[in-house]
Amino acid sequence: MTTDDERVDFGFQSVPAAEKARRVEKVFASVAQRYDLMNDLMSLGSHRILKRIAIEMSGARAGHTVLDLAGGTGDLSALYAPIVGDRGRVVLADINGPMIAVGRDRLIDEGHANVAFCQADAEALPFADASFDCVTIGFGLRNVTRKERALLEMHRVMKPGGRLLVLEFSKPESPLVAAAYGAFQSLWPLVGRAVTGDASAYRYLVESIEMHPNQKALRLMITDAGFANAGYENLLNGIVAIHHATKAAPP
């Protein structure tokens, strides 16, 4: 396990573990108001389709309780809310206050009364054991300092038989796709400066994607956290992957 004195990756930089969360918080606070617009620009709108695919894989249904971890501005929560309905509940949890504020305003304006909001660290979730039928983390795991702790927490708060979905940037299968994608990514800091006034946040984004574990490594981490039936589906040639697993019921 990582301790606060050990050094971890913050993009291509090496920083003390205790400092990474503060730096990540600063990055997202800086871009919160234009975060959704930048997502549309960087993905050419495809992130909306990818999130819908993740929802379809979740198995969520009426009456379920869903944790949208690192939920930010609420894209996934907005999709889950009508599925779980009045008898269900969605909890949007994020460590970053400004991101939650944007998500709360959006979801309230859209009339999603079954969504609750919680500022929380993924490594120490303030929820009881076996609270959720489904836990989803979309494009957030790579920002967590101690991914192993966060996965253990996701396992703890999930009900037996529940389902985990990790939607995250990953590694392209084709070298040609990887090269083209790398060239496209090089534009993100420039666009970020023009749209949000902060190029460094999107330079960090590119670096964090590069440093994130590949598909096989992340699948092993999920298995090591206690999940069963861990697997993944590559999308866009592996630029993005959806990892899925379940929490085994007790014998």
**In whole angstroms, how large is the CA radius of gyration of the chain?**
17
Residue 133 lies in a domain: yes
Residue 49 lies in a domain: yes
Tens digit of pLDDT for each residue in 5-31? 677 776 777 777 777 777 777 766 666
Query: Cα dihedral angle (59, 62, 63, 69), rounded to 10 degrees?
Result: 50
Q: How much is the mean pLDDT over the chain?
A: 89
Tens digit of pLDDT for each residue in 53-64? 999 999 999 999
For 152, the domain range is: 7-246
Structure tokens at 10: 């913050």
Supply the pLDDT for residue 5.
64
Tens digit of pLDDT for each residue in 199-221? 888 888 888 889 899 999 999 99
Which ranges constitute the DSSP H helices of the chain?
17-31, 35-43, 46-58, 75-84, 97-109, 147-157, 175-185, 188-196, 199-211, 215-224
Residue 148 has pLDDT above 80, yes or no: yes
Report whether 243 contacts 219 (CB < 8 A).
yes
DSSP state of 250: P
Give the pairing of strands 240-246 and 228-235. Answer: antiparallel
Res. 138 pLDDT band, cuts 50 70 90: very high
Supply the pLDDT for residue 30.
66
Residue 185 sits in a domain of what CATH number? Answer: 3.40.50.150
> What SS3 class is residue 238?
helix
Structure tokens at 91: 């909890």
As a whole number of angstroms, the distance between CA 132 and CA 65 comes to 5
Q: What angle (nearest 5°) sits at the alpha carbon of residue 40, between those of residues 38 and 46?
A: 140
Residue 70 lies in a domain: yes
Residue 109 lies in a domain: yes
Give the chain's length.
251
User: What backbone torsions phi and psi does residue 85 show, to the nearest 5 degrees?
Assistant: 70, -170
Tens digit of pLDDT for each residue in 67-94? 999 998 899 999 999 999 999 999 999 9
Residue 200 lies in a domain: yes
Greater confidence (221 vs 190) lies with 221
Residue 118 has pLDDT above 80, yes or no: yes
| Total of domains in the chain | 1
Residue 87 lies in a domain: yes
Residue 224: how many CB atoms within 10 A of its CB?
12
Residue 32 has pLDDT above 70, yes or no: no
> What SS3 class is residue 172?
coil
Report whether 121 contacts 93 (CB < 8 A).
no
Query: Cα dihedral angle (207, 210, 212, 217), rounded to 10 degrees?
Result: -170
Supply the pLDDT for residue 42.
77
Res. 224 pLDDT band, cuts 50 70 90: very high
Supply the pLDDT for residue 4.
55
Residue 249 has pLDDT above 70, yes or no: yes
